[in-house]
Every structure is written in C-alpha cells, then in structure tokens.
Amino acid sequence: MNSGWTLLDASHDALRTAVTATPAGAWELPTPCAGWNVTQVLQHAAGDQIAYAATLTGEPGPEENPFTPSGSLAGDPLAFVEAAMERSARAWAAADRDAAELPVPMPPNKMAPWLGAGACALDAAVHAWDIAAATGRPSPLTPEMARELLVVARETTEPVRGFAYAAALPPEPGDDEVATLLRYLGRDPHWTP
C-alpha cells in the first residue's frame, strides 16, 4: 500500500528491499546500531512505523518497546515489517495534509504534516541502510532520498540526539548525499560488521 507521500513510500521500499535481501543466516549479525543485531533493528524499525500509525489514528501501538527489541522474531521477517509499513502507510494516507500540525511519537510530539511524514520516512530509510550495511548489501538509499531526508533530519534530530541518534560525525572530503546524511545521523557510511 502506498501512503501517497513520495518520500515515505520510497523509504518503505528501501526497508522492504533491505529485508528481502537479508540472507536467512544473517539475522544475528551486528549492525551499525551498537548492541543491536539485524533482528533487533528490524523489530525497532517495524515498531516505530506502528508507533507513528498509532499516534495518528489512536489505534494500539507496538506490542513491544521499539527501543528495547527482544531479538526474537517468530514468523517471516518480511511479513512482519510489511504489516507495520502497511499500518503506517494507511495512517499517513488518511492524514490531513492541510492541518497545521499532526501528532507524532517523537518530540515535540506534533509536527507539520510534511515533516511528520518525513520523520517517519527517515526512520524507515536509515534502518534500511543499517540492515543493508550489516548484511554487506548495497545501500538502498538514493542520493535524491538522502537530500530530502537530510532536510527532515536537520529539523527533527536534535531533540532525540543521544537517544535515537548518536552525535553527528564530521563530514569528510568526497562525501556524497548518502554519506552526508548518515554522518549527520551519527553513522559511519563506511561501517562494516
């Protein structure tokens, strides 16, 4: 299902691509999210999508805290994340794009519609990159996505720095749009397991 928000749909596609490409034996691999394996990042990403949907609709939130993922997943990982992304897409498709603000699950807990949808997209996209990096796959982020997501990141990251995002890393010569975004979010674009 598409949300009708281009950046969010592209970010969901990136997450879908990363999960689909994850080999069966890779779910326990370490990720750029220190202390979390691929399964935990997947659980976190899915939980955050559900949290955005629940905040918009008033429906129940994720079954487990996205910030303390168990690392134990019963069932198919793709079906698990698809269900979460579908809830998110459905909620954003019904959101009032003309509202002054919409509720979101991150500080300040309300944002302009474009920014809230962008924050939800940023979460899906960066965790798609985490999973791809952990499994040795190419980045699912395009330069165009990274440019748009950096605008969102600059508007939303600081209140959750140290909790949801690490300190920004200094830029390096030769950084492209994806590397610039990742460094801003505290990730080393050249991270390897």
Give the model confidence (pLDDT) of 104-133 as tens digits.
999 999 999 999 999 999 999 999 999 999
pLDDT, position 70: 95
Is residue 162 domain-resident?
no
Is residue 27 domain-resident?
yes
Provide the residue range defining the domain that includes 92.
Answer: 6-144
What's the pLDDT band for 76 if we cut at 50, 70, 90?
Answer: very high
Kindly give, in sequence order, each residue whose CB lies less than 8 Å from that of residue 14, ignoring residues fewer than 6 positions away: 124, 125, 128, 129, 140, 141, 145
Is residue 183 domain-resident?
no
Please determine, for residue 55, whether its predicted confidence score (pLDDT) is greater than 90: yes
DSSP helix/strand/coil, 149: helix
Is residue 168 domain-resident?
no
Is residue 157 domain-resident?
no
Give the model confidence (pLDDT) of 144-171 as tens digits.
999 999 999 999 999 999 888 899 999 9
Is residue 192 domain-resident?
no
Q: What is the CATH number of the domain that holds 135?
A: 1.20.120.450
**Closest to 153 (Cα-Cα) out of 178, 128, 118, 104:** 118
Q: Which residues pair with 37 in a beta bridge?
A: 30
d(CA 70, CA 137): 24
Domain count of the chain?
1
Is residue 53 domain-resident?
yes
Please determine, for residue 74, whether its predicted confidence score (pLDDT) is greater than 90: no
Is residue 40 domain-resident?
yes
Structure tokens at 107: 């500080």
